[in-house]
Amino acid sequence: MSEPNFSICVFCGSQPGNQKEFTESAKQVGQWIAHHGGQLVYGGGRNGLMGTVADATLAAGGRVVGVIPRALVEKEWAHTGCTELHVVETMHDRKRLMAERADAFLALPGGIGTFEEFYEVWTWRQLGYHNKPIGLLNLNGYYSPMLEFLNGVVAQQFMGPWQMDLIQADTDALKLLPSLVQSAGLPIQFKSESI
Ligand code: AMP
């Protein structure tokens, strides 16, 4: 298999959530990554949206790098179909390796694990530890209350607007994905056919 054109680290729920659009969108993300010759980097689980995005990438012929802590191999059902599955010792090792392997980050709907991963890469970016684009898929307004809260944080001067500008939020995965890859400065030509 040839080298991927780009690597996107996707953070998302280990649960599927309660709307069919969550699963549909996770599939679309995996298909888009594969279609454009990219590679998915993710937490290596088989459950929920995590499993859906990995399955969709693999089914469309894309590469998948899974990174999972040993203690979670059974709990999250490590995905044995990954192109590369890295079993690491700690959650910190997992996040470090995922961050190293990614050109950009994208958070889909998820729970506190997803939030933690999203906020970590955002705080690292504000401190200049990396310069990789960060996307937030606000599917069906899932993240609207959080974005509203964050705008309140700016209004109350616990952060500046420039920090909000470090993340890209969009309701449409097919707009967000190319924007993230382009912001990462990768010279790739997207295929014109859909997905
Ligand atoms: P969740 O969004 O809670 O369903 O979790 C999604 C992913 O985040 C799962 O792979 C979890 O293992 C992972 N996760 C959970 N807690 C943490 C944490 N403290 N730091 C990083 N990742 C976490």
Shortest-distance Cα residue to atom 11 of ligand 1: 113
List the single range of 18-27, 30-39, 73-82 with lowest mean pLDDT.
73-82
Using the mean position of ligand 1's atoms as its centre, give its distance from the Cα of residue 113 in Å. Answer: 3
pLDDT tens digits, one per residue of 117-175: 999 999 999 999 999 999 999 999 999 999 999 999 999 999 999 999 999 999 999 99
Counting residues of the chain whose pLDDT is more than 70, the rounded percentage is 99
Identify the CATH number of the domain defined by range 1-28+38-89.
Answer: 3.40.50.450
In short, whether 113's Cβ falls inside 6 Å of ligand 1 is yes
Using the mean position of ligand 1's atoms as its centre, give its distance from the Cα of residue 189 in Å. Answer: 33
Give residue 189's pLDDT band: very low, low, confident or very high (50, 70, 90): confident
Query: Angle between the 112-126 and 91-101 helix axes, to the nearest 10 degrees?
Result: 60
Shortest-distance Cα residue to atom 23 of ligand 1: 113
Shortest-distance Cα residue to atom 15 of ligand 1: 113
